[in-house]
Amino acid sequence: MRQQRTNEQMRSRVEGLGTAWLQECPQCGRCFDSSLRACSEDGTELMLSSPVHRLLDGRYRLDRVLGRGGMGTVFEALDERLHRRVAVKLVQAGRTANPAWLRRFGREARALARLNHGNIVLTYDFGAVDDEVAYLVMEFVAGTTLRAEIDRGPISPGTAAAWFGQLLDGVKAAHAAGIVHRDLKPENLLIAHSLDGGERIKIADFGIAKWQTPDSDSVSLTLPGTIVGSLRYMAPEQLAGQAVDVRSDLFSIGVMVFEALTGKLPFGGANHAERMAVDGARIRAT
């Protein structure tokens, strides 16, 4: 009820200003423009989503919410110019009002676009809309995630070897380009069926990646000393807010291998403090 009241207040404000606002169905995730009040598929009341037109930048039609994270929301979309399905990540206002951040965002998007590898989700385009949102357009991968597969139970050694072999190939290519992912986890590993009938692993979401550049120590979308990543898969130095490098990604992969084979995580700790204590005890014991 409270969320409904908040949505109605926001809707009244938006309609009063006469601005565009993307809406989404909280039930099925489908996207609509501001002219409707209910989902045309299931009748659920629509929720305001982002301050943009559904046809983003006059080119990308946002169709369905795929997921949310700390850096924004990912949508399945149609590139109406090239008539192909894409994934669009919107980064909300707050960051985009900072010109320096937008310059970094553009530089890093161009760096990602140069990562042309079969085990990495391709980056096609980027932009910003009226200082409200920045967006990144990526390859759309139909399939499942490593998280979904692990949740079904332990993965056979043969299958795990094939999947993680591909993951290592993709990570090796990123590292060779000077990019450390920093948030490798089962949710960011997509599993798609390839044309030859096999399965292709695709690494997604370089949203908090760190770029090791020739002209500076590093470039990142996050502030120095900020702890970023997913608690259960972070290396000890990452948990401590210290500098990370390629070894941090390898640590995350090791955690995922253990979880994939056993169905359990190798380390305890339900929160940041507990995990730090576990890591500290492990380091002292070695």
Closest-CA residue to 189 (of 114, 90, 121): 121
- For residue 116, with 0-12 CB atoms within 10 Å meaning exposed, 13-18 middle and 19 or more buried, which class applies? exposed
Active site residues: 183
Please count the other Cβ atoms lying within 10 Å of the Cβ belonging to residue 243: 13
- Yes or no: say if 112 and 126 are a contact pair by the CB < 8 Å rule: no
Closest-CA residue to 201 (of 155, 246, 262, 152): 155
Distance CA 141, CA 74 (A): 12
Q: What is the DSSP letter of 94?
A: T
In 3-state terms, what secondary structure has residue 242?
A: coil
The H-assigned helical ranges of the chain are 2-17, 99-113, 146-151, 157-176, 236-239, 246-262, 272-285
Q: How far apart are the first and last CA of the chain?
A: 53
